[in-house]
Homo-oligomer: A and B are copies of this chain.
Amino acid sequence: MARERSFWGWGWADRFPDDAGRRALAAHLASMLGIDRPEPRPAPRIDGIALPPPALAIPPALAPFCTAAANERISHCWGKGYRDLVRGFAGDFSGAPDLVARPRSEEELERVLGWCAQSGVAAIPFGGGTSVVGGVERPPRGGRFAAAVAVDTGALDRVLEVDPVSRSARIQAGATGPALESQLAGHGLTLRHFPQSFEFSTLGGWIATRAGGHFATLYTHIDDLVESVRMITPRGTWESRRLPASGAGPAPDRLVLGSEGILGVVTEAWMRVQARPRHRASATVFFDEFPAAVDAARAIAQAGLYPANCRLLDPTEARINLVAADGSAVLLLAFESADHALEAWVGRALAIAIAHHGRCPDGPAIRDDGVHPSPSGAAGSWRAAFLEAPYLQNTLVSLGMIADTFETACTWDRFPGLHQAVCAAVKDAIRRAGAGANGGVLGCRFTHVYPDGPAPYYTFIASGRPGAELEQWAEIKRAASEALAANGATITHHHAVGRLHRPWYDRERPPLFAQALRAAKAAVDPAGVLNPGVLID
């Protein structure tokens, strides 16, 4: 029997804890936040969901790969952000698409898009459905679109071709992380793009949203791993040439990257893959003061060492993820290579960290035998918490907690002011929203670092009022987003824009770029049916 996905929350249904497990977490939250123990609420049942009836019947041309079944409409309704989990837990699937199409070929995909364009039906590209920004929702009912089809790329999940000389592979866009990695492994290759959503998100989704991956430096976004892209638009096929680099006009792929399904549906891409790493070196560095740790991360980012991991946890992140309980900030450093031993690299990075008052009691850990041992100590705790986090969010929602993350990037000179402003704004909003008199819990980590700035990632937990959680959350989210905008940071480093970030995205991008993008969209999607409301109107 196939393992069942949660219809309302993140991941596998069997990972949702029982009542005893939830009560244990509730006790922990009560002590951490200084609140009464939240009460576990019963999880929703799929057979109790009331769905609006489909606004149209399946057209015969799409019948072989299209469905209006309730369970499919439910599982293609929302993404996996906090708001989606709250709605799902409450049994609210009012945004369900009318139909779900699952084309098995580009020809079938063209058929769906052609039909949508002709019929004025919104086409919502759907990869793994893990958007946390409302990127896979239908536009509101009662608006321009009376009907919407979710276009699920999941049937296109093969690695079609491998070029071991150039270290490239042609991969279909519907392949999830595990699906493409297992196919590449047969060739001794790997893409090494491991976003937190890795298990369920797809290559096409990564490309459409400029996903951030495994590497803390250098090849941080999927953008850098794309050699060429093939996309189906309502006006036909858009395909770039396989090239390691080019200077011929503005890069076509860069208009596809981040286009979030408004220009077309990516069907395949040639991706830059790599040999599996054999050499690994890592170090965990503790700092008494977060600012000193920030300076260390900056110095390492500017040193030209290019660690695969350079993740800085502030004391709260370190504490809530069980990495350090003593108020230290923690810098997790790691290097990897398929080619060479890494003593010189990790040694120099560690020397920089220590020069910035870091402590590395265990020294660096080095392995040159190709074995990737399960990380232990702080790095191991971190990894376990990282993989568990989306499931934890399910549980927190079931306890009525408000728990979400947001992320950004800014130049180094702006980080101290930004960080202070964000912390003040979020804690203040939590109080104002009645979600915690003490301002809740707010932690910060750097997911990626660049020579000119970090990508800070924030997590907050507060206590919701039953039925008012989404309003409370919206107030906190708004305060956070305003603080980012006011301090010259981006509304998203790798979570994308979707519908959730639109107000701040609209202020961030050059207005003339918005006009250019609108014109470009009109050229490839004249009926404007692709993911309406995302990025532009």
Contacts and interface: CB of A to CB of B under 8 A. Distances in A.
Contacts of A410: 243-244
A343 B518 CA distance: 51
A450 B509 contact: no
30 contacts: A163-B413, A166-B411, A166-B412, A166-B414, A167-B302, A168-B452, A211-B247, A220-B245, A227-B452, A239-B510, A242-B488, A243-B409, A244-B410, A244-B412, A244-B450, A245-B455, A245-B490, A247-B258, A248-B490, A249-B260, A250-B258, A251-B254, A251-B258, A252-B513, A255-B516, A304-B337, A304-B340, A512-B523, A519-B523, A520-B520
Interface residues of A, number: 98
A302 B337 CA distance: 10
Interface in A252-293: 252, 254-260, 263, 272, 274-275
A89 B490 CA distance: 52
Interface of A: 163, 165-168, 209-212, 218, 220-221, 227, 233, 235-252, 254-260, 263, 272, 274-275, 298, 302-306, 337-340, 343-345, 348, 352, 409-414, 448, 450-455, 488-497, 501, 505, 508-510, 512-513, 515-520, 522-524, 535
Given A510-B239, A520-B519, A492 B247 contact: yes
Nearest 4 A/B pairs, CB to CB: A244-B453, A344-B344, A516-B520, A254-B254
A248 to B, nearest CB: 5
A218 B233 CA distance: 32
Contact of A252 (B304, B496, B509, B524): B509
A348 B344 CA distance: 12
Contacts of A249: 258-260, 497, 505, 509, 517, 535
A165 B244 contact: no
A205 B104 CA distance: 46
A510 B264 CA distance: 14
Nearest to A512: B238
Nearest to A209: B247
A251 B257 contact: yes
A239 B514 CA distance: 12
Contacts of A515: 235, 523-524
A301 B372 CA distance: 24
Given A242-B411, A254-B254, 20 more contacts: A163-B411, A221-B247, A227-B411, A233-B512, A236-B512, A238-B512, A241-B508, A243-B453, A244-B455, A245-B448, A247-B493, A248-B509, A251-B258, A252-B513, A255-B255, A274-B451, A303-B337, A303-B339, A305-B339, A344-B344
B251 A492 contact: no
Contacts of A254: 250-251, 254-255
A510 B238 contact: yes
Nearest to A352: B339
A252 to B, nearest CB: 4
Contacts of A492: 246-248
Contacts of A518: 523
A454 B256 contact: no
A221 B245 contact: yes
A245 B493 contact: yes
Contacts of A494: 247
A250 B259 contact: yes
A523 B523 CA distance: 12
A193 to B, nearest CB: 14
Contacts of A259: 249-250
B163 A245 contact: no
A298 to B, nearest CB: 8
Given A505-B249, A516-B523, A168 B212 contact: no
Contacts of A239: 510
B512 A245 contact: no
A255 B250 contact: yes
A244 B303 contact: no
B248 A256 contact: no
Contacts of A260: 249
A173 to B, nearest CB: 16
Contacts of A340: 303-305, 344, 348
Nearest to A243: B490
A408 to B, nearest CB: 9
Contacts of A412: 165-166, 244
Nearest to A251: B254
A245 to B, nearest CB: 5
Given A305-B339, A523-B515, A451 B272 contact: yes
Contact of A250 (B167, B221, B257, B488): B257
B535 A409 contact: no
Contacts of A505: 248-249
B243 A248 contact: no
Contacts of A220: 245
Given A233-B512, A250-B256, A241 B302 contact: no
